C-alpha cells in the first residue's frame, strides 16, 4: 500500500485508485437503495451500482489485459441492459403513480386485494 | 502528470457527487448529481483511452437515461418537494451496512492486488476493429450477444408500452 504514496503524481495512476472510486460509488448506491423510500430514488441508486461496475470492467481491461477487449464489450452490454431495465422500471413507476397517487415503497401494499374479496371471487367462479 | 491531476479531479467529483446524490433532500437534485457522476465516469473512460465507451456512456446514460429519470420525477411529484425523511433506525442500519461492506471490500482489494501491471501505451482502438469484433462470429467476437441484446431491447419497448399505456 505504500506504493500509492510513492507513486503520487509521479508515474501512472495506480489500479487501486480506480477501484477506490468504484468502491465509493458502489456503496453509495447500496446506502441509497437500503434507506430511501421513493421508488425513483431506489432506481437512481441501482444506476450508481451498475455504473461502478462498468468502471471496474474498463479498468481491469486496460490495466491487466490491454490486448483483449472483453471488459470493454461487457461494459457496453451492461450499459444497454441497464437502459432497458430503467425504461421498464420507470413504466412500472408511472403505472403505480396512476393507481395510487404516490410512489413510496412502504405503502405499496394498498395494491393487494383484501383477503375476503379474493375468496369471494374464487368461490363464485 | 497531467493524467494524474485529471484523474484526481474526476475521482473527487465522482466520490462527492455520488454521496450527495443519495443523501439529498430533493429528488431533482439527486438526479442532477447523478448526471454529474455519469459525465465524470465518461471522462474516466476517455482517460483510459476508450473513446467509444466514452461516447456511448455520454449518449445513452447521461443523455438518455437521465432524461427518462427527469421526466419520471416531474410526472410523479411537484418539483421542489422535499422527500419525507426515513426513520433514524433504517438510516443507521443502512449506513452501518454500507461502511462495513466498503471496509470489507477495501481490505480484500488492497491485500490481493499483487499482479504486476503496466500501463502499456495503446493507440486508440479504431471503430473498424470494434465493428468487426461486435459483428463477428469467431472466437472472442460478439454477434450472439449483440442479437440477444437487440431482442432484449424489443422486449423492453413492448413491455414498457404495455405497462404504461392508458387503459380506457
pLDDT at B116: 67
B15 and B75 in a single domain? The answer is yes
From the list B37, B98, B134, the residue facing A30 with the nearest CB is B98
DSSP state of B24: -
At B91-109, the pLDDT tens digits run 999 999 999 999 999 999 8
pLDDT of amino acid B86: 79
Pick from A75, A85, A42: which is nearest to B21 by CA? A42
Contact B67, B35 (CB under 8 A): no
Beta strands in chain B (DSSP E): none
Span A44-76, pLDDT tens digits: 999 999 999 999 999 999 988 888 889 999 999
Tally the domains of chain B.
Answer: 2
Q: What are the CA-CA distances from residue B4 to residues B8, B10, B15 (Å)? A: 6, 10, 16
Flag whether pLDDT at B88 surpasses 60.
yes
CATH number assigned to the domain comprising residue B73: 1.20.120.1200
DSSP for residue B57: I
For chain A, list the domains and their CATH numbers.
2-124 (1.10.287.3510)
Which residues are within 8 A (CB) of A8 and not within 5 positions of it... i.e. 6 or more apart?
B4
Looking at B62, B85, B108, which one is the last position of a domain? B85
Q: Is the pLDDT of residue A121 over 60?
A: no
Contact between B119 and A1 using a beta-carbon 8 Å cutoff: no
In angstroms, the Cα distances linking B113 to A52, A59, B107, B109 are: 19, 13, 10, 6
At A65, list the grid cell.
Answer: 489485459
CB-closest option in A51, A64, A95 to B117: A64
Same structural domain, B3 and B81: yes
**Residue B130 distance to chain A (closest CA, Å):** 9
> What global pTM score does this model have?
0.88
* Full domain range(s) for residue B43: 1-85
Q: What pLDDT does B43 receive?
A: 96
Tens digits of per-residue pLDDT, B106-155? 999 888 877 667 777 777 788 898 999 999 888 888 999 999 999 999 99
Q: Classify residue B77 by its DSSP letter.
A: S
How far, in Å, CA of B5 to CA of B131, rounded? 33
Beta bridge partners of B82: B26
Amino acid at each position: 500500500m505504500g506504493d500509492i504514496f510513492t507513486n503520487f503524481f509521479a508515474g501512472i495512476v495506480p489500479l487501486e485508485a480506480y477501484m477506490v472510486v468504484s468502491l465509493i460509488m458502489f456503496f453509495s448506491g447500496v446506502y441509497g437503495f437500503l434507506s430511501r423510500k421513493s421508488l425513483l430514488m431506489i432506481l437512481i441508486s441501482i444506476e450508481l451500482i451498475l455504473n461502478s461496475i462498468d468502471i471496474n470492467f474498463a479498468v481491469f481491461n486496460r490495466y491487466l489485459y490491454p490486448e483483449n477487449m472483453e471488459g470493454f464489450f461487457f461494459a457496453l452490454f451492461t450499459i444497454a441492459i441497464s437502459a432497458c431495465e430503467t425504461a421498464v422500471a420507470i413504466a412500472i413507476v408511472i403505472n403505480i403513480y396512476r393507481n395510487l397517487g404516490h410512489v413510496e415503497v412502504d405503502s405499496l401494499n394498498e395494491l393487494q386485494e383484501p383477503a375476503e374479496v379474493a375468496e369471494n371471487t374464487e368461490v363464485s367462479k | 502528470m497531467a493524467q494524474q491531476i485529471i484523474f484526481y479531479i474526476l475521482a473527487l467529483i465522482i466520490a462527492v457527487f455520488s454521496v450527495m446524490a443519495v443523501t439529498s433532500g430533493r429528488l431533482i437534485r439527486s438526479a442532477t448529481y447523478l448526471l454529474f457522476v455519469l459525465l465524470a465516469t465518461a471522462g474516466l473512460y476517455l482517460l483510459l483511452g476508450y473513446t467509444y465507451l466514452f461516447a456511448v456512456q455520454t449518449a445513452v446514460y447521461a443523455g438518455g437515461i437521465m432524461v427518462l429519470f427527469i421526466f419520471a420525477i416531474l410526472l410523479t411529484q411537484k418539483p421542489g418537494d422535499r422527500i419525507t425523511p426515513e426513520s433514524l433506525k433504517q438510516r443507521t442500519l443502512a449506513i452501518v451496512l454500507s461502511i462495513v461492506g466498503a471496509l470489507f471490500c477495501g481490505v480484500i482489494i488492497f491485500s490481493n492486488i499483487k499482479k504486476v501491471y503496466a500501463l502499456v501505451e495503446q493507440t486508440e482502438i479504431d471503430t473498424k476493429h470494434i465493428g468487426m469484433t461486435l459483428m463477428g462470429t469467431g472466437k472472442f467476437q460478439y454477434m450472439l450477444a449483440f442479437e440477444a441484446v437487440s431482442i432484449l431491447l424489443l422486449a423492453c419497448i413492448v413491455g414498457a408500452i404495455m405497462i404504461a399505456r392508458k387503459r380506457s
